[in-house]
Structure 1
Amino acid sequence: MSNHDERRRFQRIAFDAPTELRQGNRRWPVKLLDLSLKGLLIQRPEPWDADATQDFDAVIHLSDQQTQLRMQVELRHEEPDRLGFVCLHIDLDSMSHLHRLVELNLADSTEMMRELRELIED
C-alpha cells in the first residue's frame, strides 16, 4: 500500500457517468474513474492544456441526465494517465446526490457515518 493510500480517509467508489471538467470557457469531456465525498479521479483527457494553478468545475451527469452533481475542485495530483481532484466546494443538492451514491456503494453504514464526520471536521 502506498503512502498516498494510507492517508486516504474517504472511500472511493468506482462510478461511470458522463463528466465534464470546466475551467473558464474551456471544457473537457472526461472519463470519471471514481469519486468520494472529498473528490474525484478522472482519466487524463487529451489534449490537456489546463492551468493547473486555477480551480475547475466538475459536472457529473447522473443517470437521468437532468440531475447533475457539481463541485468546484482543485487539481491535487497528476499522473501520465490520471488526474486527481479534491473538492473545494459543493452545493447542498449535489452533496445530497453524492452522499446517496456513496451510501449505496458502501456496505457498512458505520463507515458512511465516519466519513461524514471526517468531512465535517475538515
Structure 2
Amino acid sequence: MSQERRHFSRIHFLSNAHLTTAGGGRHIGQIRDLSLKGALVAMAEGWQGRSGEGCKLEIPLNHSDVVVVMEGYLAHVEGNVAGVHCESIDLDSISHLRRLVELNLGDAALLDRELSSLVSHD
C-alpha cells in the first residue's frame, strides 16, 4: 500500500487461525497482525484465495477457550498472505479483541478514538 489509508492501529500478533472462505473450505493460517477492523493472515503455500471473497476468521487465544470470530471479506491477496477486512463481529469477540489491542497499544486514549471511529463507520 503506497498511501496509508488505515484508520485503525495494527498490532503485531502471532497466533494460529482458521480461515473459512466462501469458495474453498476451512484452512489453517497464522495471524501476522491484527486491528479492530481486520487482520493479516499468512496461509500455507499453494492456498488459493481471491480478493473480494467472503470469509470467516477464527482466532483462538492461547491458553484459553476464547475464540475471536470475525466475518468479512479478503481485502487483498498477495501470494499466500491475505488481508481480511472485518464487516461483523460479535460482542464477546470485540470485547476480547479490544482488550488485546489495548494491552498492545499501551494508549487507552488512542484505543477510545479508534472505537469511536469504528462505531461511526458502521
TM over 0.5: yes
Query: Residue 73 of structure 1 aligns with which residue?
Result: 72
Distance change (3 Å), C-alpha of 1:89 and 1:27: same
**Residues 42, 66 of structure 1: CA spacing in aligned structure 2 closer, same or farther, 3 A cutoff?**
same
Give the gaps of 5 or more residues in structure 2: none
Hey, what does 1:2 align to over in structure 2?
2
**Structure 1 51/9 Cα, relative in aligned 2: closer, same or farther at 3 Å?**
closer
1:1-122 equivalences in 2 (<5 Å) = 2-3=2-3, 5=4, 7-23=5-21, 26-50=25-49, 52-122=51-121
Amino acid at match of 1:12: R
Equivalent AA in structure 2 for residue 32 of structure 1:
I
Q: Which 4+ runs in 1 deviate beyond 4 A?
A: none
Counterpart amino acid of residue 13 in structure 2: F
Please, what is the CA RMSD of the aligned residues? 1.8
- CA displacement, residues 11-65 of structure 1 (integer Å, 9 cap, x when unaligned): 0001111201012571110011001000000114322234544311100010124
Structure 1 unmatched ranges of 5 or more:
none
- Alignment-mate amino acid for residue 68 of structure 2: L
In structure 2, C-alpha distance between the alignment counterparts of 1:94 and 1:47, rounded to whole Å? 30
TM-score norm. by structure 2 comes to 0.88
Aligned residues: 120
